[in-house]
């Protein structure tokens, strides 16, 4: 518990499991009240909310399918209203279609772009309206934004490259109100999306100097710092949490 986020209110999309759950808990531990959205993981989200409340912080839950147009815009406005303020937005919800360009259907392409790119766009646009000055937006991208290093990830890479530039665009546009926007780009992190015992796990481990997957908590620690005033002059930054994969 650092107390660095005392008095602040945060929204974490996709906070019911994986990296989003770790971020929601870390922000609460550091003092923030936290709203979390979930798509299908209602039970997971309720369990995270219970842990947040046990820390003495407020937790608010919202069901929101990020693939639906305008759902994330409405989510941000509703969260700010329910919490009474909004200081921190974490765009975390994401999908990872493992498909080659040749095999990717129109629907899968659209869904990937909707969740990974359009929803963060809607969230940023709404956040500019409802967020306090000096707020912090943190978007979870991916090192996949930096290159399609293996077959079958081109569509995902495109969505993450797009959201990287979107987050940097927000840094440029929102600075007038001293709202910062930074992008955190994880390497292999052990979650349902990319389990450390999955089919391609050994190959991914080999690409990391320390030969290990990262944890969701290691991503959350960076997000908490970016959400705090400790990082007050860090804006428009892309920070990899990848154990040196991109070194």
> Among all residues, which ones are annotated catalytic?
156
Q: Identify which of residues 145 and 171 has a Cβ nearer to ligand NDP in the complex.
A: 145
Q: Map the footprint of ligand NDP across residues 118-147, applying CB under 6 A.
A: 140, 142
DSSP 129-145: HHSPTT-EEEEE--GGG
Q: Which of 97, 120, 162, 186 lies at the binding interface for ligand NDP (CB under 6 A)?
A: 186
Number of residues this chain uses to bind ligand NDP (CB under 6 A): 29
Interface with ligand NDP includes 164 (CB under 6 A)? Answer: no
Contact 99, 155 (CB under 8 A): yes
Measured CA to CA, the distance from residue 33 to residue 7 in angstroms comes to 8
Which residues neighbour 157 within 8 Å (Cβ) at sequence distance 6 or greater?
142, 144, 145, 147, 148
Residue 162 binds ligand NDP, judged by CB under 6 A: no
Backbone angles phi, psi at 63, to 5 degrees: -85, 130
- Residue matched to tokens 């989200």: 45
CA 183 to chain centre: 9
CB of 50 to ligand NDP, least distance (A): 16
Tokens, residue 51: 């842990």
* DSSP summary character for residue 68: S
92 binds ligand NDP (CB under 6 A): yes
Q: Would you give the binding string for ligand NDP spanning residues 29-58, x where CB under 6 A is met?
A: ---------xxxx-----------------
CB nearer to ligand NDP: give 85 or 154. Answer: 154
Q: Which of 32, 80, 95, 227 binds ligand NDP (CB under 6 A)?
A: 95
Chain residues binding ligand NDP by CB under 6 A are 14, 16-20, 38-41, 64-67, 92-96, 115, 140, 142, 186, 188-189, 191-194
């Amino acid at each position: 518990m650092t107390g660095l986020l005392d008095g602040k209110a945060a929204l974490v999309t996709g906070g019911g499991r994986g990296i989003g759950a770790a971020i929601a808990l870390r922000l609460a531990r550091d003092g923030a009240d936290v709203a979390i959205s979930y798509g299908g993981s209602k039970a997971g989200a309720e369990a995270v909310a219970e842990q947040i409340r046990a820390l003495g912080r407020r937790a608010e839950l919202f069901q929101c399918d990020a693939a639906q147009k305008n759902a994330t815009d409405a989510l941000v406005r509703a969260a700010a209203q329910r919490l009474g303020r909004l200081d921190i937005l974490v765009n975390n919800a994401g999908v990872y279609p493992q498909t080659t360009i040749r095999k990717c259907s129109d629907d899968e392409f659209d869904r990937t772009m909707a969740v990974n790119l359009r929803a963060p766009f809607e969230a940023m646009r709404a956040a500019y309206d409802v967020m306090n000055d000096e707020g912090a937006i943190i978007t979870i991208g991916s090192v996949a934004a930096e290159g399609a290093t293996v077959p079958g990830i081109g569509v995902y890479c495109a969505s993450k490259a797009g959201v990287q530039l979107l987050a940097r665009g927000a840094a440029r546009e929102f600075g007038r109100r001293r709202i910062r926007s930074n992008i955190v780009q994880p390497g292999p992190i052990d979650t349902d999306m990319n389990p450390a015992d999955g089919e391609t796990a050994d190959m991914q481990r080999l690409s990391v100097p320390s030969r290990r997957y990262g944890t969701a908590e290691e991503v959350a620690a960076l997000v908490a710092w970016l959400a705090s005033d400790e990082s007050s002059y860090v804006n428009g930054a892309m920070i990899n949490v990848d154990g040196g994969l991109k070194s």
